[in-house]
Amino acid sequence: MPALATFELTKDYAIGFWRKRPYRALDGLTLEIAPGEVFGFLGPNGAGKTTTLKLLMQLVFPTSGRAEIFGRPLGDLSVKRRIGYLPEHPYFYDYLTAEELLTYFAGLFGYAGAERRARAARLLDEVGIGAERRMQLRKFSKGMLQRVGIAQAILNEPELVIFDEPMSGLDPLGRRDVRSLILRLRDRGCTVFFSSHVLSDAEALCDRVAILARGRLAAMGRLTDMLPFRARGWDLVVAGVRDETVAALGTRVRRAVRLSDGHYMLDLPPDSPPERLVGELTAGGAHLVSLNPIRQTLEEFFVEHVTTPAAAGAPRDVEPPHGRRP
Amino acid sequence: MKATAWIAINVFRESVRDKVLYNLVFFAILLIGASYLIGQLTAGQDVKIIKDLGLAATSIFGVFIAVFIGIGLVSKEVERRSVYSLLAKPIHRYQLLIGKYCGLVLTLIVNVSIMAAALYVVLAYMSWGVPPAAARIWDAPALDPALLKATALLLAELTIVTAIALLFSTFSTPMLSAAMTFGLYIVGHFTNDLRNFADLVDSPAAARLARGLSWALPNLAQFDVRADVVHGLPVSFGYMGLASLYAAVYVAMLLAISVLIFSRRDFK
């Protein structure tokens, strides 16, 4: 049984002031996430990521289609007990301290007094909120609020967490902390479904990703298996290599650029593994400076899928919906 | 049930940390205190004046608290998006709404009790040392327990005003909610006149409309027994029971409509 599944999930919003017309924010999304998987939900702003997550949390209702979590319909309280959710740019009650907020939320899960306080303290430690936990949230920075948001999302030791842009508002240290937290959650067997528009986050963390563009699923699978993101070659930079050694490489190198004396950047084709060539060069006295795959960036992918007429497909203003409302 | 109570306690905590509430209660107590001075200006009517002004101040500031906190109960949660994290917890939307409502009613009970206590303190100070012969000319004793009846009915009225504010806040902006709640509060004190108007007009359509409105709109005038209490007239427990029953039914109806709207609402 998948941890999460959506079936032709579609959402239209009514836009316009006087003459309302439907605008399709999400168009027939079907996906399945296996238990224990770290699944990245990628797409540019306005692609429909947040709408999808809100649909899953029943903050908005679908125009058509449906979704299930742990094989049960959305909104089921037994399901809500097993999931955690971090909204985008989380905001909490100004007048509460971080400790009080977590204790309050723990009460909604039905934990008893001592357990509430213990959980709040443990999770604030886990997300790196120290003495500030007794400060009112109105005094918190954006990054600290994000940490509190993450703490409240994992308060109930969820089996599935849904994070909307978890790295948003965090400095590099904070981003690193969140990445480690996601990996720790995965190690505990928790399924993680998070949205992002940063490819490197997905590369570092995800088993699989889905890419959304203009409300539609543009691609889904392992990033390394997805055609646009497969390596189209390798950029190899070596130092201490002789000119004649480089010349002798022949067709094994598509292009060689001499950066300085004995310092070369080599463009390798994708068909041969670069390790062998690196081994040969280093055996001949060269040393490796860097080796990077050449592939389409997520930004390039977005541009292609969002701006090309073919990818854009039908306009997003749609006919009045005939779907049902649960 | 437990979650609803937990939400209510949090609303109470939010309210007692709200500076607006302190200001309102402070001004109410100030006004009750000032009624002592005004009472001094009237010969032999001082106790009556203090009671009248004190109850009026309690009523006005009670309505202010109900409206100004009530209109923000849901709309503020939605506007600031704190509702997103809250609704992700294992609660139903109706629990959130009922919890918010109960929390504000709890706040009102505490605040109205404080204002009533302040009124009794002023009355006790006023009547202290007054010879029995002088006290006999008063319509009712200074520390009349009937004042509590007026306060209880005021609280019943405030439960309706709070439910109205909550209803508007489920779909409207705070400003509009405040305007509409105050509007209904004022109209609610004239529903008997609407009923009389229906008997006076010639047009059957206008009469039906006036009668229909008089039944649909809240009848808040029945909760105002200040004049009776101040003048020492009896207010029966039967009357209080019926008025409270009316408040309970009306509140239940308003909450049901609020739940219906809120449970279908998209939080964009």
Tell which residue, A140, A149, A188, A152, has the closest CA to residue A167.
Answer: A149
Question: Letter for the amino acid at B238?
Answer: G
Buried b (16+ CB within 10 A) or exposed e, A58-75: bbbbbbbbebbbbeeebe
Is residue B102 domain-resident? yes
3-state secondary structure chain B: CHHHHHHHHHHHHHHHCCHHHHHHHHHHHHHHHHHHHHHHCCCCCHHHHHHHHHHHHHHHHHHHHHHHHHCHHHHHHHHCCHHHHHHCCCCCHHHHHHHHHHHHHHHHHHHHHHHHHHHHHHHHHHHCCCCHHHHCCCCCCCCCCHHHHHHHHHHHHHHHHHHHHHHHHCCCCHHHHHHHHHHHHHHHCCHHHHHHHHHHCCCHHHHHHHHHHHHHCCCCHHHCCHHHHHCCCCCCHHHHHHHHHHHHHHHHHHHHHHHHHHHCCCCC
Quick check: A57 and B88 CB within 8 A?
Answer: yes
Asked if residue A116 and residue A146 are part of one domain, the reply reads yes
Asked if residue A279 and residue A203 are part of one domain, the reply reads no
Report the residue from A81, A90, A92 with minimal CB separation from B90.
A81
Asked if residue A85 and residue A189 are part of one domain, the reply reads yes
Q: Which of A47-56, A288-297, B40-49 has the highest mean pLDDT?
A: A47-56
Tell me, yes or no, if B77 comes closer than 8 A to chain A by beta carbon: no
Q: For B220-235, what is the mean pLDDT?
A: 88
Cα distance between residue A70 and residue A76, in whole Å: 10
Interface test with A, best of B4, B82, B84 (most A CBs within 10 A): B84
A&B contacts, CB < 8 Å: 78
Range of the domain at B66: 2-189+224-263
Q: How far is A86 from chain B, CA to nearest CA, in Å?
A: 7
Residue B45: which pLDDT band, with cuts at 50, 70 and 90? low
Can you name the residues that pair with B215 across neighbouring β-strands?
none
pLDDT tens, position by position, A7-23: 999 999 988 877 788 89
B chain contacts of residue A105, beta-carbon cutoff 8 Å: 85-86, 89
Residue A85 has pLDDT above 60, yes or no: yes
Q: How far is B91 from chain A, CA to nearest CA, in Å?
A: 7
Is residue B244 domain-resident? yes
Q: Which two tokens stand for residue A51?
A: 């709408």
Asked if residue A224 and residue A288 are part of one domain, the reply reads no
Compute how many other C-beta atoms are within 10 angstroms of the C-beta atom of residue A145.
17
Structural contact between residues A153 and A141, judged by C-beta atoms closer than 8 angstroms: no
Asked if residue A174 and residue A62 are part of one domain, the reply reads yes
Least confident of A68-82, A297-311, B148-162: A297-311
A chain contacts of residue B81, beta-carbon cutoff 8 Å: 87, 89-91
The pair phi, psi for residue B139, each rounded to 5°, is -65, -35
Q: Which two tokens stand for residue A211?
A: 């890419």
Asked if residue A83 and residue A116 are part of one domain, the reply reads yes
A chain contacts of residue B268, beta-carbon cutoff 8 Å: 13, 60
Is residue A314 domain-resident? no
Quick check: A87 and B13 CB within 8 A?
Answer: no
Is residue A326 domain-resident? no
Of B242 and B47, the one with more pLDDT? B242
pLDDT tens, position by position, A102-125: 999 999 999 988 999 999 999 999
Please spell the DSSP secondary structure of A48-76, one letter per residue.
SHHHHHHHHTTSS--SEEEEEETTEETT-
Is residue B203 domain-resident? no
Interface test with B, best of A58, A93, A101, A156 (most B CBs within 10 A): A93
Instruction: Provide the number of structural domains found in chain B.
Output: 1
Of A171 and B97, the one with more pLDDT? B97
Tell me, yes or no, if B7 comes closer than 8 A to chain A by beta carbon: yes
Tell which residue, B112, B84, B108, B107, has the closest CA to residue B96.
Answer: B84
Asked if residue A102 and residue A250 are part of one domain, the reply reads no
Tell me, yes or no, if B147 comes closer than 8 A to chain A by beta carbon: no
pLDDT tens, position by position, A252-303: 899 999 999 889 999 998 877 788 889 988 888 889 999 988 877 777 777 7
Asked if residue A42 and residue A71 are part of one domain, the reply reads yes
Q: How far is B20 from chain A, CA to nearest CA, in Å?
A: 13
Asked if residue A265 and residue A194 are part of one domain, the reply reads no
Cα distance between residue A297 and residue A80, in whole Å: 36
Q: What's the DSSP call for residue A317?
A: B
Q: How far is A271 from chain B, CA to nearest CA, in Å?
A: 48
- ipTM value: 0.82
pLDDT tens, position by position, A123-166: 999 998 888 898 999 899 888 999 999 999 999 999 999 999 99
Tell which residue, A93, A68, A317, has the closest CA to residue B84.
Answer: A93
Structural contact between residues B265 and B170, judged by C-beta atoms closer than 8 angstroms: yes
Cα distance between residue B163 and residue A40, in whole Å: 43
Report the residue from B6, B80, B264 with minimal CB separation from A108.
B6
Is residue A212 domain-resident? yes
Is residue A53 domain-resident? yes
H-only helix segments in chain A: 49-56, 77-80, 98-108, 113-126, 142-153, 172-187, 199-205, 243-247, 274-283, 298-307, 309-312
Structural contact between residues B104 and B10, judged by C-beta atoms closer than 8 angstroms: no
Asked if residue A257 and residue A163 are part of one domain, the reply reads no
Is residue B10 domain-resident? yes
For residue A325, the model assigns a pLDDT of: 40
Q: How far is A71 from chain B, CA to nearest CA, in Å?
A: 17
Cα distance between residue B203 and residue B212, in whole Å: 14
Q: How far is B187 from chain A, CA to nearest CA, in Å?
A: 30
Is residue A319 domain-resident? no
Tell me, yes or no, if A137 comes closer than 8 A to chain B by beta carbon: no
Return mean pLDDT, chain A.
87
Task: Compute the Cα dihedral for B133, B135, B138, B139 and give only its sign.
Answer: negative
Is residue A268 domain-resident? yes
Asked if residue A277 and residue A179 are part of one domain, the reply reads no
Q: Is A222 exposed, middle or buried (0-12, 13-18, 19+ CB in 10 A)?
A: exposed
Secondary structure (3-state) at A291: strand
Quick check: B91 and A84 CB within 8 A?
Answer: no
Is residue A168 domain-resident? yes
Apex CA A114: angle with CA A110 and CA A118, to 5°?
95
Quick check: B91 and A109 CB within 8 A?
Answer: no
Secondary structure (3-state) at A125: helix
Is residue A318 domain-resident? no
Total residues belonging to chain A: 326
Structural contact between residues B207 and B219, judged by C-beta atoms closer than 8 angstroms: no
Closest chain B residue to A89, measured at CA: B81
Cα distance between residue B268 and residue B254, in whole Å: 25
For residue A99, the model assigns a pLDDT of: 94
Total residues belonging to chain B: 268
Question: Letter for the amino acid at A270?
Answer: P
Tell me, yes or no, if A23 comes closer than 8 A to chain B by beta carbon: no
Question: Letter for the amino acid at A213?
Answer: A
Tell which residue, A190, A203, A177, A216, has the closest CA to residue A313.
Answer: A216
pLDDT tens, position by position, B197-217: 878 888 888 888 888 888 899
Instruction: Provide the number of structural domains found in chain A.
Output: 2
Compute how many other C-beta atoms are within 10 angstroms of the C-beta atom of residue B144.
19
Asked if residue A256 and residue A197 are part of one domain, the reply reads no
3-state secondary structure A155-193: CCCCCEEEEECCCCCCCHHHHHHHHHHHHHHHHCCCEEE
Range of the domain at A169: 4-228
- Helical packing angle, B174-188 and B72-79, nearest 10°: 170
For residue B177, the model assigns a pLDDT of: 92
Question: Letter for the amino acid at B267?
Answer: F
For residue A316, the model assigns a pLDDT of: 55
Is residue B239 domain-resident? yes
Is residue B208 domain-resident? no
Tell which residue, A200, A199, A235, has the closest CA to residue A219.
Answer: A199
Compute how many other C-beta atoms are within 10 angstroms of the C-beta atom of residue B178.
19
Quick check: B90 and A60 CB within 8 A?
Answer: no
Secondary structure (3-state) at A263: strand
Kindly list the distances between the CA atom of residue B55 and the CA atoms of B51, B60, B126, B154, in Å, as whole numbers in the listed order. Answer: 6, 9, 16, 9
Q: Which of A55-64, A226-235, A281-290, B47-56 has the highest mean pLDDT?
A: A55-64
Closest chain B residue to A55, measured at CA: B266
Is residue B93 domain-resident? yes
B chain contacts of residue A92, beta-carbon cutoff 8 Å: 82, 85
B chain contacts of residue A95, beta-carbon cutoff 8 Å: 13-14, 17-18
Any idea which residue has 């809240």 for tokens?
B218
Report the residue from A54, A77, A85 with minimal CB separation from B85.
A85
Give the H/E segment covering residue A23: strand A21-33
